[in-house]
Structure 1
Amino acid sequence: MRAGGAAVVTFAALAGGLAGASAAVARDAGGLPYSQVEQVARGVTYGQFSVDGGKGAVTGYMLTVDLSDPRVRVDLLTPGAVADRAPVSQLADSARAVGAVNGDFFNISEEHAGVTPTGSSDGPEIASGRALKAAVPDAQRFGPAMPPGGTTRDVLGVGVDRRARLDRLTLAGSLRTRQGSHPLGGFNQYALPEGGIGAYTAGWGTVSRERAVCGSDTSRAAACSTDTYEVTVRGGRVTAVADTPGQGAIAPGSTVLVGREAGADTLRTLHVGDRADVGERLVPTASHVPYAFAVGGFPVLRDGAPLPGLDAKTAAVRTAAGFGDHGRTLYLLALDGTAAADPGLTVAEVADVMRQAGADDAVNLDGGGSTTLVTRAAGDPAATVRNHPSGVAERPVANAVGVFSAGH
């Protein structure tokens, strides 16, 4: 038994024929060559394995989650603001999750002098059934190149029916004034489309909104727009206006609108006291079932087959999430980050690992220094980092996929 009481099972022992709970854990572990398996909590299994990639042997870690168990659920873990970051272990501890892996790619650095990286994720976020943000334009995303047909709107989510799905979440939002209705181009996101209007709520945080008007529809590094305008709306009325994007906390119940180019022209027609109504929601493409949770990531496996055009050359430390059994079983993968001993896997190899684990569909999440998998045994006050992150310490990240068990 390891500290905290989680059962440890080696496959040498399994060969001798285990009975009861330990044997059930092994059967649920999937088709990977696990050297160690633990029952973390009811419906949640942890396993460690090694596979041979094109660059050498790689150690991986997998959480297998039984979504058919009514006492088990997953949710998005966040630092409390869209434009903020925290280590995965801290996010898991704060929410009392029994396991977690890091989530989406995020705005970690900046090409624009004097502009503060926001720490905000690329893709949409839904936590506890509530939309937190929409996706940035494809050309503005951070992270490796997506396979053909990929978009920042791609997500892995779990519906209120407790089934996991791949989907795309599109922003449907508008600003309504006496002059008419104007579509929103953004919702709590670090980059807006050219000519767009973005809505920012208290959930954004305190970081400057200046990054929203930088880059273009074809280049993240394109210059920041100087043709901007900002309007604050509260209770259906304009309460403040400004020529440039601001910073600092947004009061609960207020919405700050940031416009660039044509969007700025639209906002300039508004004056303090004018009527203005703002609404936004995320609309799924593939499902009519509302999502309880969703995280951004680009698909690598669909219906049991790898997507065409996956990178088969660049090996790196990676994180992935996928599901099988018609969305009833979730798989969360993290690789070791000790580059000298573990060279990593290509995206194509990650897709194959997820398929071996039992997934029919999967997405690639943020990797490199962000890759982190943690578990928390019953009675433990703090989560344990299971993989070896590639930095000297855990990297603070924008969000994480958290696993919960009421039987824990």
Structure 2
Amino acid sequence: MALAALVGGALAGAAPAGAAQQGTVIAPGVVYEEFDLQGAKGPAHAHVLSVDLRNAKVRLGLLYPGAVAARAPVSQLADAAGAVAGVNGDFFNITETQHPGVDATGASVGPAIAAGHVLKAAVPDGQRFGPALPPGTGTEDVVGVGTDRRARMGRLVLRGSVRTPEGTLPLGGLNQYALPVGSVGAFTADWGSASRKRATCGTDTERAAPCSTDTYEVTLRGGRVVAASDTPGGGPIARGTTVLVGREAGAQRLRKLAEGARVSVTHRLVAAGSAVPYRFALGGYPLLSGGRPLPGLDDTTAAVRTAVGLADNGRRVLLFALDGDPRYRTGLTVAEVAGVLRGLGARDGFSLDGGGSSTLVARAPGETAASVRNHPTGGAERPVPNGIGVFVTR
């Protein structure tokens, strides 16, 4: 049955406007379809990839450009990874107009796991980019697929420590563009070459607050301090090297470490409420849970959006992106997107970055590269830090 036929009644006061085009089988277990919708603020056009994880040859994974603090277009990310399709992912540090002299890192807001490898943890809630979060949600919320091949929403909490001759410190961040006030964060080769200065700007509740004037950085190699600086630096971090950045109380603790001191750093992301590890995960925020829209979803601001729907107990995933063509640019509200996902059979729904980031790509059989199926709002693909890729074993 066409996906659009399932959306009837999904939008309050709105229903599909026009018949869906014939679905395209991208690969066994992966179907692409597009259809019109009538939202409260105007017409919208949806692009949807239906991914059947019950097919053993189909999997989902994180698309990213090889570093946390880097960006690339979704089509480029998909082609480089060998994905047959994909959508853009998490919200990210896109601009730094509030902090003169500090460059945006391009790093994502929430946690990220790629092929079982932890890339980063979440920034404080007050440091996120993107629309206001629904009540009860935060930057630690993720969507992903576990080692059991089931997709699910959840939370990923950083647990880590820094053991020093002066005592053990809690680890406040991992490859994040913003660290909690008074904390120590770790940066590894996964971060990339972007400056770490941004990590000491803003506060836990105010992204635009000034950068801290009390900072310190130490470089660890082979479990020992090999360098130190009062100012966070930049440039590539070698494999096997960890850079610790402290601000306020965290900086004061790091200053006590002498060159050559032994320091060990441990970190992991803990999935709250689940014993099944994530194989891949990325951030955003939930908007549908157990077939019910989350309370307090915005039902007034319409925009072009990207989202994920989880159906059939996490065995079927819907990758959803709206079209940014001028005819449809009013888009849908978050509440309307939740309704559409529910109409498509999803029990859980998760919002990803939207606006100029919204991109859905797919490579049909016989094609050598993924093509953009929606029209990005800016007229061209926006480079993004990550996305969800669809992979098929032939």
Query: Given the two structures, how large is their TM-score scaled by the length of structure 2?
Result: 0.95
Q: 2:356 — aligned with what?
A: 369
Residue in structure 2 matching 1:50, options 18, 36, 50 = 36
User: Which residue identity is paired with 1:189?
Assistant: Q
Q: Which residue of 1 aligns with 2:369?
A: 382
Separation in 2, partners of 1:144, 1:341: 20
Does the aligned pair in 2 maintain the 1:29–1:45 contact within 8 Å? no
Matched ranges for 1:96-135 at <5 A: 96-110=82-96, 111-135=98-122
Would you say the 8 A contact 2:2–2:22 is kept in 1?
no
- CA offset at residue 157 of structure 1? 1.3
Note the 1:8-157 alignment, pairs <5 A. Answer: 26=1, 31-32=6-7, 34-110=20-96, 111-157=98-144
Is structure 2 residue 332 aligned with structure 1 residue 357? no
Gaps of 5+ in 2: 8-15
Q: Where does 1:160-179 land on structure 2 (aligned, <5 Å)?
A: 160-179=147-166
C-alpha offsets along residues 94-139 of structure 1, whole Å, 9 cap, x if unaligned?
0110110000000000120010000000000001011100000000
Secondary structure at the residue paired with 1:198?
A: strand
1:19 corresponds in structure 2 to none
1:318-329 superposed matches below 5 A: 318-329=305-316
CA deviations on 1:271-312 (whole Å, 9 max, x unpaired) are: 110010001110010211111110101000000000000000
Distance 1:286 1:58 in 2: 36
1:257, distance to aligned residue in structure 2 (A): 0.2
Distance 1:93 1:280 in 2: 31
Structure 1 CA distance for aligned equivalents of residues 132 and 228 of structure 2: 38
> What displacement does 1:180 show?
1.6
Matching residue of 1:190: 177
Q: Which AA in structure 2 matches 1:273?
A: G
Q: Is the Cα contact below 8 Å between 2:303 and 2:329 reproduced in 1? A: no
State how far apart, in whole Å, the 2-side matches of 1:97 and 1:106 are.
Answer: 22
Within a 5 Å distance, the mapping from 1:381-400 to structure 2 comes to 381-400=368-387
- Structure 2 distance, partners of 1:139, 1:67, is 35
Note the residue ranges of structure 1 that are not aligned, 5 or more in a row: 1-25
| Pairing of 1:207-226 with structure 2 (within 5 A) | 207-226=194-213
1:27 Cα deviation (Å)? 6.1
In structure 2, the partner of 1:257 is 244
Q: Which moved more, 1:77-86 or 1:175-184?
A: 175-184
- Structure 2 CA distance for partners of 1:339 and 1:150, relative to 1, 3 Å: farther
Structure 1 residues 50-107: Cα deviation after superposition (integer angstroms, max 9, x where no partner): 1110011110000000011111000000011100000000000001101100000000
Task: Tell me the matched-pair count.
Answer: 382
Per-residue CA deviation, residues 143-178 of structure 1 (Å, 9 max, x unaligned), is 000000110000001001000111000000110012
1:236-269 CA distance string (max 9 Å, x none): 1111111110000111100000000000011001
- Following TM superposition, by how much is the alpha carbon of 1:378 offset from its aligned partner in structure 2, in angstroms? 2.5
Q: Which amino acid aligns with 2:6?
A: G
Which amino acid is 2:122 matched to? A
Task: Tell me which amino acid in the other structure corresponds to 1:274.
Answer: A
AA of the residue aligned to 1:314: T
Distance 1:283 1:311, change over 3 A: same
**Structure 1 range deviating more: 100-109 or 48-57:** 48-57
Shifted more, 85-94 versus 379-388: the winner is 379-388
Within the alignment, does 1:205 sit opposite 2:195 as a pair?
no
Per the alignment, residue 267 of structure 2 pairs with 280
**Aligned mate of 1:338, from 303, 325, 330:** 325
